[in-house]
A and B are shown apart, each in its own frame.
Chain A
Amino acid sequence: MENPESVSRESKTKKRRKTLNDDQTQSISNNMKWRTEAEQQIYSSKLFEALRQVRRNNSPAEANHRPRGRVVREAADRVLAVAAKGRTRWSRAILTSRLRLRFKKVRKQKVTGGGRLRKVEVRKENKGITVLQRKVRVLGRLVPGCRKLSFPNLLEETTDYIAALEMQVRAMTALTQLLTGGAGGLAAPVDQLQSNLTSPT
Chain B
Amino acid sequence: MEGTVIRSGSAGSEEDGTEVESFQFGEEIQGLMSVPPESGSSFTALLGLPATQAMELLHSPESDEAPATLSGEARVDQCQKPYLPSFNCSPSFPSNAALVERAARFSIFAGGSGEDSPDTNSMPSNSSRVKNEPMDTDSNPTTPPPLISDPTVGNRNLKSAKRKEREKKVKGPSKKNKNVASESSEDAEKLPYVHVRARRGQATDSHSLAERARREKINARMKLLQELVPGCNRISGTALVLDEIINHVQSLQRQVEFLSMRLAAVNPRIDFNLDSLLAAESGSLMDSSMFTPLVWPEVQVNGNRQQYQQQWQYDAYNQPVWGREEDNHNFITPENSLLSYDSSANSGTSSLRVNLLKMEL
Contact = CB atoms under 8 A, between A and B. Distances in A.
Question: Do chains A and B interact in one complex?
Answer: yes
B325 interface: yes
Contact of B228 (A163, A172, A173): A163
B261 A72 contact: yes
Interface string A112-123: 000000000000
A151 B219 CA distance: 11
A69 interface: yes
B16 interface: no
A93 interface: no
A9 B192 contact: yes
Nearest to B161: A13
B258 A193 contact: yes
Contacts of B354: 181, 183
A72 B258 contact: no
Nearest to B321: A53
Contacts of A168: 252, 256
A194 interface: yes
B193 A135 contact: no
B116 A3 contact: yes
Contacts of A73: 256-257, 260-261
Given A131-B239, A152-B217, 9 more contacts: A6-B120, A6-B156, A45-B332, A52-B324, A73-B260, A85-B311, A139-B246, A181-B357, A181-B358
Contacts, number: 259
B225 A158 contact: yes
Interface in B288-333: 297, 300-301, 304, 307-308, 311-312, 315-318, 320-321, 324-325, 328, 332
B157 interface: yes
Contacts of A99: 315-317
B252 A169 contact: yes
Contact of A55 (B121, B131, B225, B270): B270
A6 B119 CA distance: 10
Nearest to A155: B221
B131 A178 contact: no
Contact of A51 (B164, B267, B342): B267
Contacts of A166: 252
A197 B116 contact: no
Majority-rule SS of A interface residues:
helix
Given A169-B256, A181-B358, A198 B268 contact: no
A138 interface: yes
Contacts of B307: 85
Contacts of B320: 53
Nearest to B223: A24
Q: Which of A24, A69, A142, A163 has the most CB of B within 10 A?
A: A69
A51 B271 CA distance: 9
A73 B262 CA distance: 10
21 contacts: A6-B120, A6-B156, A13-B194, A23-B217, A31-B228, A41-B340, A49-B324, A52-B274, A67-B264, A95-B315, A99-B317, A142-B246, A158-B225, A168-B252, A174-B342, A174-B343, A178-B342, A178-B350, A190-B258, A193-B254, A201-B247
Contact of B224 (A6, A24, A40, A136): A24
A56 to B, nearest CB: 8
Contacts of A46: 301, 325
Contacts of B265: 68
Nearest to B167: A17
Contact of B332 (A49, A51, A76, A183): A49
A169 B259 contact: yes
B267 A68 contact: yes
B245 A10 contact: no
B195 A17 contact: yes
Majority-rule SS of B interface residues:
helix
| Those 4 A-B pairs whose CB atoms lie nearest each other, nearest first | A9-B191, A69-B261, A6-B116, A68-B264
Interface string A61-97: 0000001111111001110001001100000000100
Contacts of A69: 257, 260-261, 264
Given A1-B115, A169-B252, A172-B259, A48 B247 contact: no
A165 B253 contact: yes
Interface in B58-116: 115-116
Q: Which of B231, B261, B266, B336 has the most CB of A within 10 A?
A: B266
A185 to B, nearest CB: 12
Nearest to B116: A6
Contacts of B245: 139, 158, 162
B1 interface: no
Contacts of B224: 24, 27-28, 31, 155, 159
B249 A142 contact: yes
Q: Which of A7, A17, A52, A86 has the most CB of B within 10 A?
A: A52
B300 A12 contact: no
